[in-house]
Homo-oligomer: A and B are copies of this chain.
Amino acid sequence: VRASVLQSAYRLLVRNGLSNLTIADVAADSGVHETTIYRRWKNPLVLAGEACLAAMAEAIPPPNTGRLRSDLIDLAERIIKVLEGPSGRALLDICRIDEAKVNATRASFFQARFAAVAEIFTNAVQRGEWEGSVDYKFALEMLVAPIYFRALITQQPLKAWPAAAAVDLILAGLGTQTLAE
């Protein structure tokens, strides 16, 4: 039921926009009863937030390219692609909402995402590519934040963001000792 509601909500959200998302439409599209949806998600904003973030998690699995550097570049580029794609507008609208429940959904989503993506670093350690520990949340915030900052605040083109240079800066700053090719 949950997956079906979230999929319907996401489809309608991308098609019609955040301000046109209604629980009634999601009920009709998913075949789940309206009261069931209201009981669980309370309002369209909360539902939109959860649907959009779940879709993003699905669209961006943790990369596993075999190298830490290319994993991080891949991650940054996938985020840029999603934000510039058809669901980008809906996702950015969710980021613009300042409402307690949506804020809480978004906050826990990003914490969960950072934890899931942390395997990029543990994989690198297992490959012997990385020595020592790393504050992966700190590294991921440095990686991800400038992309959202451009999309939401400075309106600079995401495609022009030097993702590889940012990854190199972060890796140099973290003192990684990547093995020679």
Contacts and interface: CB of A to CB of B under 8 A. Distances in A.
Contacts of A174: 169
B145 A107 contact: no
B142 A153 contact: no
Contact of A92 (B97, B98, B168): B98
A155 interface: yes
SS class, residues of chain A in contact with chain B: helix
Nearest to A114: B154
A156 interface: yes
A82 interface: no
B162 A169 contact: no
Contact of A107 (B93, B148, B154): B154
Contacts of A142: 142, 146, 166, 169
A141 interface: yes
Contacts of A168: 173
Q: Which of A111, A145, A168 has the most CB of B within 10 A?
A: A145
Interface in A32-58: none
Interface in A3-58: none
A92 B149 CA distance: 12
A100 to B, nearest CB: 10
Contacts of A153: 95, 106, 110, 148, 152
B110 A154 contact: yes
Interface of A: 92-93, 95-98, 103-104, 106-107, 110-111, 138, 141-142, 144-146, 148-150, 152-156, 162, 165-166, 168-175
